[in-house]
Structure 1
Amino acid sequence: MKRSTPDSPQIPDKVYFRIGEVSHLVGVDTHVLRYWESEFSLIKPFRGKSKQRLYRRQDVENLLRIKGLLHDEGYTISGAKKYLKNLNRDSQSELEKKAYQASLPKDDSILLQIKHELREILTRLSGAD
């Protein structure tokens, strides 16, 4: 099965892609991919026993995003790095927020218990005068 978006090529349903395949999918030369790998920390191809770069699907998707930022949207390398860093931070914050919300009690019983304990403390403090 192949997945694609209207603006990106179809990515074959494989675990790993060789640099030549990625070059064809992304539409840039292999030396550009190697350069982007040195500039963008989110691109980390696996190296097999043969020492060839083997890119995962996520790497290919990230490379397509980088190409879009640089070629289509006119970002510089440093601008694209900042954009991706902020995008990653925002998505990480959203994940942390969802995890925090999931950890909260599903009912109001804990809030009622805290309210009751606070009233007890207030009563004791007001009676201490």
Structure 2
Amino acid sequence: MTYKEKEIEKKYFSIGEVAEQLNIAPSQIRFWEGEFDVIKPQKNRNGKRQFTKEDIEKLKMVYHLVKEKGYTLQGAKQMIKNNNKGLKDKMEMIESLEEVKAFLVELKQKLDNQ
């Protein structure tokens, strides 16, 4: 594999990029950062947050519990503290199922257009 063929993988994401991925305001991310011990992005020399993929996964977990499942902040903190591995597995399963659903919807649309 030559240099050009290698896919360059981004290691750090800005708060704006993360907010766009999750479809929430950057202020929501800053708020959750203060509320949840598991969210600890690095900061560069200018003090700007730099989120890793692991940080984003943790934010997705918080988003799922608070926004989708309706947990209170305290309830979400307890869930993350008590069942981090099981919760992560469920999140990965949900993401996989959503990808399969999107694929099937796209396939159905293509078949309907023929």
**Identity fraction in percent:** 37
Over the residues paired in the alignment, what is the CA RMSD in angstroms?
2.0
The letter for the 2-side match of 1:71 is K
SS in 1 for 2:50: strand
1:5-46: CA deviation from partner (whole Å, max 9, x where unpaired):
xxxxxxxx4210000000001111011000000000110010
Closer/same/farther in 2, CA of residues 83 and 47 from structure 1, 3 Å limit: same
Structure 1 counterpart of 2:55:
59
Structure 1 counterpart of 2:32:
36
SS in 2 for 1:16: coil
SS in 1 for 2:70: coil
Count of residues paired in the alignment: 80
The letter for the 2-side match of 1:49 is R
The 2-side partners of 1:55 and 1:77 are apart by 21
Q: Which runs of 5+ in 2 are unaligned?
A: 1-8, 88-114
Structure 2 counterpart of 1:19:
15
> Alpha-carbon deviation of 1:90?
7.3
Q: 5 Å matches for 1:89-104? A: none
The letter for the 1-side match of 2:49 is R
Pick the structure with greater CA Rg. 1
The letter for the 1-side match of 2:37 is S
SS in 1 for 2:13: strand
Q: 5 Å matches for 1:71-86? A: 71-86=67-82
More relative contact order, 1 or 2 (CA 8 Å, 6+ apart): 2
Structure 1 residue ranges (4+ consecutive) displaced by more than 6 angstroms after TM superposition: none
The 2-side partners of 1:24 and 1:47 are apart by 19
The letter for the 1-side match of 2:28 is V
The 2-side partners of 1:31 and 1:54 are apart by 15
- TM-score normalised according to structure 2 size: 0.65
